[in-house]
């Protein structure tokens, strides 16, 4: 599904962001990507959705070789991914349902199929009743649910979440995390970058930890370690 092989990523002015990172995430898996700010979590995700070019090594994402991807094929890759951010990235000038429908419209979905598909995902994230609310009328947790609905509406095989609970209070965090678990339970792989160790401890999922751009721990490969240690 997602396979990194000896991946290096250098930014022109920022030095090495990733150093020789290799891992393989299988279909349907739930993986935490952990590490301090600046450890390279977001960079890993950006390479997956081809926002940044790979410096060296190989990145394969559901059949695409990202390093060899032509710019015109990037949209095709992204249609197979769902992406969620800490800051939600909703369009403020339109209600929840249109924010979700937007993702279908830009990919050229059949127009008649859009309303039903939008309502289905909004129901899935528990926001069917607030379909017509504008983002400013929703709480942070609700806004993130809309963002997740938008990410899901194209039926991606992987959901990438970059600190999805970073802006949320504890209760909203639990709700959003439970939603991600439900989504994973229905077969979608979830890669969640987070530095919230409480969340990581709550669930028995695989953990990949980065430190200054290097992969220092992968629970699928390495020995399980003391849960109280600082990742």
Partner 1 sequence: MNLTIREALLAFRRAPLLSALSVTTIAFSLFVVGLFGLVAVNLQNALRSVAERVEIVAYLLPGTPIESITLAEKDIEAFPEVHSAVYVSEDSALARARAELVEFRDVLQELERNPLPASIEVKLKPQYRDAEHVRDVAERLGGFGFVDDVRFGRDWVEKLDRLRQIAAAVGLVVGAAFAVVAIIIIGTTIRMAVLQRGREIAIMRLVGATNGFIRRPFLLQGAIKGMLGGLVAVGLSYGAYTLINRWLIQAAFFSNLQALAIVGFGALIGLFGSAASVGRHLRRV
Positions in 99-118 near partner 1 (CB under 8 A): 102-103, 105-108
Q: Which is nearer to partner 1, 64 or 205 (CB)?
A: 64
**Strand, helix or coil for residue 209:** strand
Sign, CA torsion 121/189/155/73? positive
Q: Kindly state whether residue 41 participates in binding partner 1, applying the rule CB under 8 A.
A: no
Q: With CB under 8 A, what is the number of residues at the site for partner 1? A: 19
- Looking at 46, 117, 150, 206, which residue binds partner 1 (CB under 8 A)? 150
The CB-of-85 to partner 1 minimum distance in angstroms stands at: 9
Q: Kindly state whether residue 72 participates in binding partner 1, applying the rule CB under 8 A.
A: yes
Question: Token pair for residue 82?
Answer: 């769902």
Q: Which is nearer to partner 1, 66 or 200 (CB)?
A: 66
Q: Kindly state whether residue 76 participates in binding partner 1, applying the rule CB under 8 A.
A: yes
Q: How far apart, in whole angstroms, are the C-alpha atoms of residue 169 and residue 172?
A: 5
Instruction: Return phi, psi of residue 113, to 5°.
Output: -85, -15
- Looking at 44, 66, 83, 176, which residue binds partner 1 (CB under 8 A)? 83
Closest to 231 measured CA to CA, from 68, 36, 53, 65: 36
Q: Kindly state whether residue 148 participates in binding partner 1, applying the rule CB under 8 A.
A: no
Q: Which stretch binds partner 1 (CB under 8 A): 4-12, 68-76, 173-181, 196-204?
A: 68-76
Q: How far apart, in whole angstroms, are the C-alpha atoms of residue 47 and residue 213?
A: 13
Provide the 8-state DSSP code for 53: -
C-alpha dist (Å) from residue 50 to 37, 64, 223: 21, 10, 32
Q: Which is nearer to partner 1, 190 or 199 (CB)?
A: 190
The CB-of-227 to partner 1 minimum distance in angstroms stands at: 34
Q: Which is nearer to partner 1, 79 or 195 (CB)?
A: 79
Q: Which is nearer to partner 1, 153 or 179 (CB)?
A: 153
Q: Kindly state whether residue 185 participates in binding partner 1, applying the rule CB under 8 A.
A: no
Q: How far apart, in whole angstroms, are the C-alpha atoms of residue 26 and residue 136?
A: 37
Residue 208's region, left for phi above 0, alpha for psi from -120 to 50, else beta, is beta
Which residues in this chain contact partner 1 in the complex, by CB under 8 A? 49, 71-72, 75-79, 83, 89, 91, 102-103, 105-108, 150, 154
């Amino acid at each position: 599904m997602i396979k990194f092989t000896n991946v290096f990523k250098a930014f022109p002015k920022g030095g090495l962001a990733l150093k020789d990172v290799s891992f393989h995430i299988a279909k349907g898996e739930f993986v935490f990507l952990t590490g301090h700010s600046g450890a390279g979590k977001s960079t890993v995700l950006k390479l997956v959705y081809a926002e940044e070019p790979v410096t060296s090594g190989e990145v394969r994402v559901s059949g695409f070789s990202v390093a060899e991807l032509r710019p015109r094929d990037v949209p095709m890759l992204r249609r197979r991914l769902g992406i969620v951010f800490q800051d939600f990235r909703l369009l403020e000038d339109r209600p929840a349902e249109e924010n979700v429908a937007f993702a279908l419209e830009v990919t050229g979905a059949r127009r008649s199929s859009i309303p039903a598909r939008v309502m289905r995902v909004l129901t899935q994230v528990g926001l069917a009743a607030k379909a017509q609310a504008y983002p400013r009328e929703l709480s942070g947790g609700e806004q993130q649910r809309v963002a997740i609905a938008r990410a899901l509406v194209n039926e991606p095989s992987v959901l990438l979440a970059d600190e999805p609970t970073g802006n949320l209070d504890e209760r909203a965090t639990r709700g959003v995390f439970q939603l991600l678990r439900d989504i994973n339970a229905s077969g979608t792989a979830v890669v969640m970058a987070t530095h919230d160790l409480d969340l990581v401890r709550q669930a028995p999922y695989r953990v990949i930890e980065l430190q200054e751009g290097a992969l220092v721990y992968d629970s699928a490969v390495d020995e399980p370690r003391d849960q109280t240690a600082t990742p």
